[in-house]
Amino acid sequence: MKYYFLIATDTLGSDFIYLDNDEIPKGVKRAAKQSAFQFVERDLQELLLDDRSGQRIPDFICDPHNNVPLISDKMKLVFDECDIRYLYYQRVKLVRKKDGFSERYWLAIPPRIDCMHMDKSCIDSMWNKATKITIDPEKVGNYDIFKIAGVSNHEIIVTDCLKRAIEKNKADSGLFFVEDPNLN
């Protein structure tokens, strides 16, 4: 099985989407960091875009400061067609006050799973960060999108199967897949 890092594009570009850091509820930040869904506020209805955000709103947004992953309705349909049921989904309205933009998106937090082949992986003990990740496919099971448990890494990992489904459905170029030699 092949695995890829899922990355939001335009991290250095003018069209990058930033969430208003001061307005992200603490529970959402904690849930995104730890995959601790139980801390997401029950009354969460909207997330505000920072005024620095670009005009193009892609199908996948992952705020660079808090790693809060958001997907559009179009991307949610792709996930539904792939029968991805284990993500924590919560409908939110993405709002930009300066121009009145408002659109439905989904907070889509992947679970952290214990799937690293420890004998073949490398972990920087000072930061508890995996520098070389070898995934044990038997531990992954039916997960097509996830984060790795037991390390401080925040990267979202997808299987080749989900990657192809996203590409086939031509989800907006708000994301790209990285085939990293340190991920196998």
In a domain, 183, yes or no: no
Whole-prediction pTM: 0.85
Structural domain boundaries, residue 123: 3-178
Single-letter amino acid, residue 179: E
In a domain, 184, yes or no: no
Q: What are the average pLDDT values for consecutive 10-residue runs of the chain, which has 184 residues?
A: 70 67 91 89 89 81 83 92 91 91 93 92 87 91 92 88 86 64 68
Q: What pLDDT was estimated at residue 20?
A: 87
Q: What pLDDT was estimated at residue 44?
A: 86
The number of folded domains in the chain is: 1
In a domain, 124, yes or no: yes
Nearest-5° angle of CA 64, CA 48, CA 83? 70
DSSP state of 22: G
Q: What pLDDT was estimated at residue 8?
A: 63
Q: What pLDDT was estimated at residue 152?
A: 86
Distances from the Cα of 147 to the Cαs of 42, 95, 100, 121, 151, in angstroms?
A: 23, 27, 34, 15, 9
Contact 51, 22 (CB under 8 A): no
Single-letter amino acid, residue 144: D
In a domain, 42, yes or no: yes
In a domain, 145, yes or no: yes
